[in-house]
């Protein structure tokens, strides 16, 4: 669904301005009554109940972007590595974005500064901006990524940031190439206050794949890029216990919602696999009762998930209010709670 609204962009985390990482705003949206309230994130506990379950993503973002020279095109840029593989080929995204139209199958890409080569074999069948690529030397190429790789960074972030910027209190399993950022503001004091309230915690894993597609690239699709995920027995036990005791299941991040709902579709048993689930208006949620997430830009698949939870008018009025109050979008911005 195409959305149109103005928004403010968070360029850097709060710590770069002398604040703490939990010094962000909260937009609480009551999806049943259509009511919206604005507050500091530090009072999150006031919107939760004893017995509610917060489910976090424990995936840790890893460096996956290297400098690149596209030899046939004669263009220097970057190569962003995804998490999907196909018969030994690796998913990747050449950058800058405008290079996509001039690349050809068989293009040789030299990674910089070591000049390791990787060959663009074919475009992704559903999302042609992405490519399947074959390294000449797989182990050597992965060594280049490990030694010289940077975190994927888009234009709203002015420079490369240190690794601890992309960690959270819950991220322990390396594997995401994009930042699962919804749990970033959960500091020790926030976690302690929630525990004292009687809020429960659980964790699942979903390793975020490349996520730079524009609306025109996925609007007619019924699925997204596949992502590896794990929902273990302990997480499901916590979900069922909360449900039996009248607690709400709140996904902290759209990645968690995808993992839990994918698990439900596959039978509601512990699962490790890959999901290409695209949650958009009309989707019937089977596990989650609400969502804690960042504020998502228009025409993104993430805002489509939000639109599956609340109606269009509530979304637009909520985001308009957030803009007027100076809320910030993107991975280092403010959060919304939808219950």
Instruction: Report the alpha-carbon distance of residue 225 to residue 218 in Å, rounded.
Output: 10
What does the pLDDT look like over 104-114, one tens digit per residue?
Answer: 999 999 999 88
Q: Which of 100, 122, 148 is the last residue of a domain?
A: 148
Mean pLDDT of 256-263: 98
pLDDT in the model for residue 213: 83
Binning pLDDT at 50, 70 and 90, where does residue 87 land? Answer: very high
Q: Which of 148, 171, 199 is the last residue of a domain?
A: 148
Residue 157 resides in a domain: no
Q: Are residues 119 and 107 in the same domain?
A: yes
Backbone angles phi, psi at 215, to 5 degrees: -55, -45
pLDDT in the model for residue 7: 81
Binning pLDDT at 50, 70 and 90, where does residue 1 land? Answer: low
pLDDT in the model for residue 216: 79
Residue 288 pLDDT exceeds 90:
yes
Q: Are residues 143 and 185 in the same domain?
A: no
Among the residues of the chain, which ranges form H helices?
138-148, 188-197, 215-218, 233-244, 254-265, 301-309, 312-324
Q: What is the percentage of the chain residues whose pLDDT exceeds 70?
A: 98
Strand, coil or helix: 206: strand
Q: Which of 92, 114, 148 is the last residue of a domain?
A: 148
The two beta strands, 53-57 and 59-61, are: unpaired
Q: Are residues 211 and 243 in the same domain?
A: yes
What does the pLDDT look like over 275-284, one tens digit per residue?
Answer: 999 999 999 9
pLDDT in the model for residue 100: 79
Residue 294 pLDDT exceeds 90:
yes
Residue 302 resides in a domain: yes
Q: Are residues 43 and 118 in the same domain?
A: no
Residue 112 resides in a domain: yes
pLDDT in the model for residue 101: 83
Residue 154 resides in a domain: no
Q: Are residues 48 and 69 in the same domain?
A: no
pLDDT in the model for residue 331: 94
Instruction: Report the alpha-carbon distance of residue 24 to residue 14 in Å, rounded.
Output: 8
Instruction: Report the alpha-carbon distance of residue 185 to residue 13 in Å, rounded.
Output: 10
Binning pLDDT at 50, 70 and 90, where does residue 262 land? Answer: very high
Both structure tokens of 58? 């424990």
Q: Are residues 273 and 291 in the same domain?
A: yes
Strand order in the sheet with 53-57: 35-40, 25-30, 335-338, 290-294, 249-252, 53-57, 200-206, 227-231, 271-275
User: Which of 135-144, 202-211, 258-267, 294-303 shows the lowest mean pLDDT across its residues?
Assistant: 294-303
Q: Are residues 189 and 79 in the same domain?
A: no
Strand, coil or helix: 203: strand
pLDDT in the model for residue 5: 67
Residue 3 pLDDT exceeds 70:
no
Mean pLDDT of 321-333: 94
Q: Are residues 38 and 82 in the same domain?
A: no
Residue with tokens 């400098």: 67
Q: Are residues 108 and 196 in the same domain?
A: no
pLDDT in the model for residue 310: 93
Q: Are residues 85 and 133 in the same domain?
A: yes
Name the residue range of residue 112's domain: 65-148
Residue 243 resides in a domain: yes
Residue 190 resides in a domain: yes
Could you tell me the CATH number of the domain that includes residue 268?
3.40.1780.10
CA 287 to chain centre: 19
What does the pLDDT look like over 173-226, one tens digit per residue?
Answer: 999 999 999 999 999 999 999 999 999 999 999 999 999 888 778 878 899 999
Total tally of structural domains belonging to the chain: 2
Q: Are residues 142 and 274 in the same domain?
A: no
Residue 307 pLDDT exceeds 80:
yes
Given its phi and psi angles, is residue 120 left (phi above 0), alpha (psi -120 to 50 degrees) or beta?
beta
Q: What letter does residue 325 receive in the DSSP assignment?
A: T
Residue 318 resides in a domain: yes
Instruction: Report the alpha-carbon distance of residue 133 to residue 119 in Å, rounded.
Output: 5
What does the pLDDT look like over 15-34, one tens digit per residue?
Answer: 999 999 999 999 999 988 88
Both structure tokens of 101? 């139209």
Q: Are residues 118 and 265 in the same domain?
A: no
pLDDT in the model for residue 300: 72
pLDDT in the model for residue 219: 79
Mean pLDDT of 254-263: 98
Binning pLDDT at 50, 70 and 90, where does residue 2 land? Answer: low
Instruction: Report the alpha-carbon distance of residue 51 to residue 299 in Å, rounded.
Output: 35
Cβ atoms < 10 Å from Cβ of 245: 12
């Amino acid at each position: 669904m195409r959305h149109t609204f103005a928004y403010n962009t968070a360029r850097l985390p709060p710590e770069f301005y002398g604040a703490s990482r939990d010094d962000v705003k909260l937009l609480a949206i009551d999806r049943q009554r259509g009511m919206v309230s604005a507050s500091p994130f530090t009072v999150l506990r006031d919107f939760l109940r004893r017995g509610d379950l917060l489910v976090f993503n424990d995936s840790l973002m890893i460096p996956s972007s290297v400098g690149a020279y596209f030899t046939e095109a004669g263009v220097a840029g970057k190569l962003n590595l995804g998490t999907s593989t196909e018969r030994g080929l690796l998913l990747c995204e050449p950058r800058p974005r405008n290079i996509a139209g001039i690349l050809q199958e068989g293009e040789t890409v030299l990674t910089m500064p070591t000049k390791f080569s990787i060959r663009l074999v074919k475009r992704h069948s559903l999302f042609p901006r992405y490519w399947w690529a074959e390294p000449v030397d797989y182990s050597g190429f992965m060594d280049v990524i490990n030694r010289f790789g940077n975190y994927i960074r888009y234009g709203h972030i002015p420079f490369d940031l240190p690794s601890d910027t992309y960690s959270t209190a819950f991220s322990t399993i390396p594997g995401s190439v994009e930042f699962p950022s919804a749990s970033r503001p959960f500091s020790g004091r926030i976690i302690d206050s929630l525990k004292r309230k009687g809020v429960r915690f659980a964790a699942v894993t979903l390793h975020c794949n490349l996520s730079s597609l524009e609306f025109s690239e996925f609007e007619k699709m019924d699925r997204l890029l596949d992502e590896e995920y794990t929902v273990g027995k302990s997480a499901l036990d916590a979900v069922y216990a909360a449900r039996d005791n009248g607690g709400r299941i709140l996904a902290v991040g759209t990645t968690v919602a995808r993992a839990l709902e994918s698990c439900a579709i596959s039978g509601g048993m512990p699962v490790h696999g890959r999901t290409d689930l695209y949650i958009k208006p009309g989707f019937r949620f089977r596990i989650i009762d609400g969502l804690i997430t960042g504020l998502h830009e228009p025409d993104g698949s993430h805002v489509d998930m939000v639109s599956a939870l609340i109606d269009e008018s509530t979304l637009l009025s909520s985001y308009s209010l957030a803009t007027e109050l100076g809320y910030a979008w993107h991975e280092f911005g403010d959060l919304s709670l939808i219950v």
